[in-house]
Structure 1
Amino acid sequence: MAFLELDTHTLHYRIDGEHGTWLMFCNSLGTDLHMWDEQVAALAGHFRILRYDRRGHGESSAPPAPHALADLGADALALMDAFHIERTAFCGLSIGGLVAQWVAINAPQRLSHVVVCASAARIGSEESWRTRALAVAAHGLAPLRAATAERWFGDAFRRDAATRVGQILDSFEATSVPGYLGCCAALGAADLHAQLGQIHVPLLAIAGDDDAVCPPSDLRHIAERTGGALEVLPGRHLVNVESAAGFSAALQRFLL
């Protein structure tokens, strides 16, 4: 395993593919870099792919909570700097999509394209994330497994792809509680509605048609405010897993 050592934490990362331009992936809350396995398999022949575990997720360590969205964006920029990446395409899902928007607003010169998936300019409310954090602090993540499965995947996919779903939910349960709580704080405070008009990087928004967390209307709003394109695919919140082939094809059309 490969790690980038920062002042307060380490980031676990992987690089796949040897040719083409850079493409970075940023995972959702409670997942690790393996949520992108299907995209890496489909796209590593066309891009040099950098994916990483967000602080407090997967094999990355967790600095003291709380975290801010700017901290998560700084982690992405630190990885770019470590590998002397002047410009990259950046694809993020859910909180990863917020990171993608933050980088497009605050460091647009570092991005060639931005893909915002199953995300919003604001996800939930400060109160809802505080309530979630209190529950996780008291009881851990295991009690949330069943409800998370329903939010992330449709009924048929949970039945037909039970092994893949189980792997992702195991990763969810294994997430560091301090890391999860830190990111809940970042989500509770993050609101980019007023800054969307500052995004001028070519943008693709991808929504799951049955996603109750970040419905297609949230992604349509981002696309309209930024002059970007919208693609709606079958699936719930982890639409890149549930509609893996269609998702990877949409990325390839947009980026190549």
Structure 2
Amino acid sequence: MSVALHHVDEGPRDAPVIMLSGSLGSTVEMWRPQVSPLTERFRVIRVDHRGHGGSPVPPGPYTIADLAGDVLALLDRLGLERVAWCGLSMGGMIGMYLGSEAPERVTSLTLCCTTSNFPDTTVWKERIAAVSSGGTAPLAEGVVSRWFTPDWAAAHPDTMAEAAAWVAGTPDEGYIASCQALEVWDHRDRLGAITAPTLVIAGSADPSTPVEPHARTIVEGIPGARLEVLDAAHLATIEAADEATRLIAEHAAAHPV
């Protein structure tokens, strides 16, 4: 059963719509660098996944299909037939699901620092156990250290502190249930069904979903998909914000409704 997602809806009402969907442990605030430039030409809708930010926290476990169902329900409530989709990490997984299972609802896909499958699910088992015993707060600093390259992190302590607060503020139940979704995620056999024009953005220093094999598998699986690699770690939309935003905007604009 879908839940009513917390979302922020900005930009011209008559402009093409782009929806932004973030990573595990984030909130709508992770897209703040994109808001001002994107709202010059798009209606921009940022969403909090179930179990995150201002959205409800239904009992788990969740699946990516559940998270995609929440998005489809939001589109229906807003009266939006089709949107350009941009998702990072877990948000990119939702985009892949929508692209193959609800292709009529997306005009294009931008898939950032994400994967179609985790061959080794140990990280999720360990993360579930850790949050079950101690909550999200003790994990926050370690999680965020993988989001950015060390030099960039050292130069941006305020951003690091804010990002750690997103993770620490994520409800334990929602975080665990989302990890359970990632643990079983495998969309490799459905990539070929995606027909929306697809841009894959990867971070050259991303330890969580590195170019090889994660981005490469997506690009090779989705017909016509294009790969762009940025000099960044996992949250490339923040670390390489200007370049990422340009790519996101150009791809969405090139494939309007």
Picking from 218, 225, 228, the partner of 1:222 is 218
User: TM-score, length-normalised on structure 2?
Assistant: 0.94
The residue number in structure 1 matching 2:129 is 134
Q: Secondary structure at the match of 1:11?
A: coil
Measured in 1, the distance between the counterparts of 2:231 and 2:10 equals 27
Any idea what the Cα deviations from partners look like across 1:213-256, whole Å, max 9, x if unmatched? 10112112211221211010111001100000010011122122
Q: Would you say the 8 A contact 1:124–1:188 is kept in 2?
A: no
Identity %: 34
The residue number in structure 1 matching 2:245 is 248
The residue number in structure 2 matching 1:172 is 167
Measured in 1, the distance between the counterparts of 2:241 and 2:118 equals 23
Any idea what the Cα deviations from partners look like across 1:165-220, whole Å, max 9, x if unmatched? 21111111000000001101111111001111111110000001100110112112
What is the letter of the counterpart of residue 51 of structure 1? R
Picking from 234, 238, 245, the partner of 1:237 is 234
Picking from 60, 65, 69, the partner of 2:60 is 65
The residue number in structure 1 matching 2:198 is 203
Q: Would you say the 8 A contact 1:8–1:63 is kept in 2?
A: no
Gaps of at least 5 residues in structure 1 are 1-6
Q: 1:159 to 1:128 in 2, by over 3 A?
A: closer
The residue number in structure 1 matching 2:18 is 23
Any idea what the Cα deviations from partners look like across 1:97-120, whole Å, max 9, x if unmatched? 110000001000111000111001
Picking from 140, 147, 150, the partner of 1:152 is 147
Q: Would you say the 8 A contact 1:68–1:183 is kept in 2?
A: yes
Deviates most, 158-167 or 21-30: 158-167
Q: Would you say the 8 A contact 1:31–1:168 is kept in 2?
A: yes
Deviation at 1:8, TM superposition (A): 6.6
Measured in 1, the distance between the counterparts of 2:96 and 2:167 equals 24
The residue number in structure 1 matching 2:7 is 13
Q: Would you say the 8 A contact 1:118–1:208 is kept in 2?
A: yes
The residue number in structure 2 matching 1:32 is 27
Measured in 2, the distance between the counterparts of 1:50 and 1:92 equals 12
What is the letter of the counterpart of residue 59 of structure 1? G
The residue number in structure 2 matching 1:95 is 90
Measured in 2, the distance between the counterparts of 1:124 and 1:186 equals 14
Q: Would you say the 8 A contact 2:188–2:221 is kept in 1?
A: no
Measured in 1, the distance between the counterparts of 2:30 and 2:119 equals 22
Count of residues paired in the alignment: 250
Measured in 2, the distance between the counterparts of 1:169 and 1:81 equals 33
Deviates most, 236-245 or 146-155: 146-155
The residue number in structure 2 matching 1:4 is none
Measured in 1, the distance between the counterparts of 2:250 and 2:64 equals 29
What is the letter of the counterpart of residue 12 of structure 1? H
RMSD (CA atoms): 1.3
Gaps of at least 5 residues in structure 2 are none
Query: Do residues 84 (structure 1) and 79 (structure 2) align?
Result: yes
Q: Secondary structure at the match of 1:152?
A: coil
